[in-house]
């Protein structure tokens, strides 16, 4: 197959870092070409250059053999290049159709002609089984559908080089399967796909080739049918990666978190979002909440951490009733929270890394000197956490978090919340967006906290993660906890049956 795209000797520096260092990359017609690399390796940067967001300091881009200078995203679109970003870029209060045509509206007699565009969107949606409602408002639709709107945006512009930057990080397993089928359909039609993902199973199942980046450099490109997961992770991290965390039997102590008959009514319908939720997490155990997205897990966690009010029932941490406390007081009672939405609840994007690393503690005497902030101490804390959690960025403690790579932003939150070592660590999708080596490290850290006698409550959509780190698995379905399972005595299939509501009410872990 001939190549549709060549990037040659691409180099791009940011203050303090060479994000891309002499990278060459070739995309063939009708292939799925995966890009794999550690957090901060330069994957998004390389694709942002291809999409015209950054200009390379050095190097050429050739499309169908001809050198092009890509002036910006609109120009990239005109050249047939489309991109779905790591963080979506949709206007929340616009409809699907309005978002898709934004910037290339068709005008008839001086007004925007929505009907022709709408028809085209419906046709494209049907053709690729995207199931998108053209009239829905973005803020009302699920993350999975928002992503399909981004895909439609590319198709609407007739892109034939499609870039996906970590498309599956925010999707549920079912949505991931659907996306893989859509990607296969694209390549059958002659489109070419670049897929950035940290999930090696996805690479093995859909990609034809994989290029591995490491600290800004290309390590090489391999054929997928001549490699395997272990070899890919070794190429990327430079050592073997353990996908299964080593852990002994838990040494279980007193009750730390007690959730007592929690109920939450929906603001918009008569449905109950949480129904009689009762459970405990004891010192020294990792309890995981599994479930299909949207079965009340987020609201349960938000109710415990105080981000939403309105649930009836009681929540106790180490015997203290925190049900009516403000977020700050709950934190001080001994809760750490790694939130689902890292941009909304986890970080202040325009603050520096060192400032973000003390958001929960800057008011403590440790960081105060004669009533003002002790910046030396704040920097020292950052230096320690950067080293311990391997947080990579251009300017160390002084990096602005917005400019950091997605995975390193996540590592910053993990570092801050885990290092506080509170009695109760609550983590939602803790390893979202992390590379395989970083996931291994975080899982080890979580088990270390457990073995120090801390309580861990995790909510995760990824069954592999659930099976890997839990001592106990609670399955949520339609706002209820329908199972309390011992991971050693259950199977993926059984959990799946509970998650889908086909099985309920029994426990294999009679205590
Ligand atoms: N706009 C920017 N300003 C300053 N530094 C940046 C900018 N964009 C990226 N960087 C730096 O360049 C490096 C590469 O970042 P990039 O986002 O390309 O990584 P990545 O491979 O996509 O990682 P991840 O898997 O975490 O998404 C990082 O160290 C990041 O801090
Ligand atoms: Mg990235």
Domains 3-237 and 255-350+423-499 are alike in CATH topology: yes
What 128-134 contacts at long range (C-beta under 8 Å, 24+ apart), as own/partner pairs, is 128/155, 128/182, 128/185, 128/186, 129/178, 129/181, 129/182, 129/185, 130/182, 132/96, 133/96, 134/95, 134/96, 134/97
Ligand number with the minimum distance to the CA of 236: 1
> What are the C-alpha distances in Å from 235 to residues 38, 229, 244, 487?
10, 10, 19, 31
* pLDDT at site 506: 52
What 139-142 contacts at long range (C-beta under 8 Å, 24+ apart), as own/partner pairs, is 139/92, 139/93, 141/96, 142/293, 142/294
Instruction: Report the Cα–Cα distance between both ends of the chain, in Å, rounded.
Output: 60
Which ligand 1 atom is the nearest neighbour of the CA of 43?
A: 21
Q: Which residue minimizes the CA distance to atom 12 of ligand 1?
A: 19
Strand 32-37 to 192-196 pairing: parallel
* pLDDT at site 509: 47
CB of 339 closer than 6 angstroms to any ligand 1 atom: no
CB of 45 closer than 6 angstroms to any ligand 1 atom: yes
Q: Give the residue, out of 19, 217, 402, 439, with the most ligand 1 atoms within 8 A of its beta carbon, to mutate for a pocket test.
A: 19
Mean pLDDT by 10 residues, the chain (511 residues): 93 96 98 97 97 97 96 95 87 92 80 86 91 90 86 92 91 85 94 96 96 97 96 92 92 96 87 94 97 90 92 95 91 90 87 94 85 90 96 96 94 94 94 93 94 96 92 96 95 91 63 39
Q: What is the CA radius of gyration of the chain?
A: 24
* pLDDT at site 86: 77
CB of 90 closer than 6 angstroms to any ligand 1 atom: no
Half-sphere exposure of 355 (CA within 13 A, CB side): 12
- DSSP3 helix / strand / coil % (the chain, rounded to 5): 35, 25, 35
Place of tokens 């689902």: 340
Q: Which residue minimizes the CA distance to atom 2 of ligand 1?
A: 403
Place of tokens 């799925």: 32
Q: Which residue minimizes the CA distance to atom 6 of ligand 1?
A: 403
Q: Which residue minimizes the CA distance to atom 25 of ligand 1?
A: 39
User: Residue ranges of the domains in the chain?
Assistant: 3-237, 255-350+423-499
* pLDDT at site 115: 86
CB of 342 closer than 6 angstroms to any ligand 1 atom: no
Report whether 296 contacts 311 (CB < 8 A): no
Ligand number with the minimum distance to the CA of 438: 1
Distance 402 CA to ligand 1 centre (A): 10
Tokens of 318: 């180490």
Tokens of 338: 């790694």
Ligand number with the minimum distance to the CA of 42: 1
Which ligand 1 atom is the nearest neighbour of the CA of 45?
A: 18
* pLDDT at site 505: 63
Distance CA 437, CA 237 (A): 6
Distance 465 CA to ligand 2 centre (A): 21
Q: Which residue minimizes the CA distance to atom 7 of ligand 1?
A: 403
Report whether 285 contacts 457 (CB < 8 A): no
256 C-beta neighbours (distance < 10 Å), count: 25
CB of 394 closer than 6 angstroms to any ligand 1 atom: yes
Distance CA 138, CA 134 (A): 10
CATH number for the domain whose boundaries are 3-237 = 3.40.50.300
Distance CA 198, CA 190 (A): 25
* pLDDT at site 260: 96
* pLDDT at site 344: 83
CB of 47 closer than 6 angstroms to any ligand 1 atom: no
255-350+423-499, which class in CATH? Answer: alpha beta
Distance 434 CA to ligand 2 centre (A): 10
CB of 41 closer than 6 angstroms to any ligand 1 atom: yes
Distance CA 227, CA 296 (A): 40
Distance CA 50, CA 162 (A): 11
Strand 17-28 to 3-14 pairing: antiparallel
Q: Give the residue, out of 39, 237, 405, 438, with the most ligand 1 atoms within 8 A of its beta carbon, to mutate for a pocket test.
A: 405
The residue count of the chain comes to 511
Degrees to nearest 5, angle at CA 196 with 193 and 201: 100
């Amino acid at each position: 197959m001939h190549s549709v795209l060549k990037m040659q000797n691409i180099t791009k520096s940011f203050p303090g870092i060479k994000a891309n260092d002499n990278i060459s990359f070739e995309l063939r017609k009708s292939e799925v070409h995966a890009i794999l690399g550690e957090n901060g390796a330069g994957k998004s940067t390389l694709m942002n250059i291809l999409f015209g967001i950054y200009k390379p300091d050095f190097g050429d881009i050739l499309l169908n053999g001809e050198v092009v200078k890509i002036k910006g995203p609109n120009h990239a679109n005109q050249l047939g290049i489309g991109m779905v970003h790591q963080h979506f870029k949709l206007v929340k209060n616009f409809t699907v159709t309005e978002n898709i045509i934004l910037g290339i509206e068709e005008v008839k007699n001086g007004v925007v002609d929505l009907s022709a565009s709408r028809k085209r969107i419906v046709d494209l949606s049907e053709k690729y089984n995207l199931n998108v409602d053209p009239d829905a408002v973005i803020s009302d639709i699920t993350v999975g559908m928002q992503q399909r709107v981004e895909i439609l945006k590319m198709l609407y512009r007739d892109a034939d080089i499609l870039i996906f930057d970590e498309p599956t990080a925010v999707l549920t397993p079912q949505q991931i399967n659907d996306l893989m089928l859509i990607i296969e359909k694209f390549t059958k039609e002659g489109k070419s796909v670049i897929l950035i993902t940290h999930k090696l199973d996805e690479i093995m199942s859909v990609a034809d080739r994989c290029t591995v980046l490491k600290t800004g450099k290309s390590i090489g490109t391999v054929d997928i049918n001549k490699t395997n997961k272990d070899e890919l992770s070794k190429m990327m991290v430079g050592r073997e990666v353990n996908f299964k965390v080593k852990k002994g039997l838990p040494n279980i102590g007193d009750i730390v978190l007690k959730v007592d008959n929690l109920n939450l009514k929906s603001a918009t319908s008569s449905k109950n979002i949480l129904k009689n939720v009762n459970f405990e997490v004891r010192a020294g155990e990792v309890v995981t909440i599994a479930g299909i997205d949207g079965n009340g897990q987020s609201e349960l966690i938000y109710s415990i951490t105080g981000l939403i009010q309105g649930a009836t029932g009681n929540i106790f941490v180490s015997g203290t009733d925190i049900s009516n406390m403000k977020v700050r007081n709950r934190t001080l009672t001994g809760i750490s929270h790694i939130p689902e939405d890292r941009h909304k609840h986890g970080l202040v994007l325009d603050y520096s890394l060192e400032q973000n690393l003390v958001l929960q503690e800057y008011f403590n005497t440790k960081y105060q000197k004669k009533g003002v902030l002790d910046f030396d101490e704040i920097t020292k804390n950052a230096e320690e956490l950067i080293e311990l959690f391997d947080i990579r960025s251009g300017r160390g403690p002084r990096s602005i978090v917005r400019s950091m790579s997605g995975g390193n932003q996540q590592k910053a939150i993990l570092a801050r919340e885990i290092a506080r070592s509170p009695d109760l660590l609550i983590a939602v999708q803790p390893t979202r967006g992390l590379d395989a080596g970083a996931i291994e490290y975080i899982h080890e850290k979580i088990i270390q906290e457990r073995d120090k006698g801390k309580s861990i409550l995790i909510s995760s959509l990824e069954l592999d993660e659930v099976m890997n780190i839990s001592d106990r698995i609670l399955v949520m379905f339609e706002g209820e906890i329908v199972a309390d399972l011992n991971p050693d005595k259950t199977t993926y299939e059984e959990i799946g049956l509970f998650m889908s509501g086909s099985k309920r009410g029994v426990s294999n872990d009679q205590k």
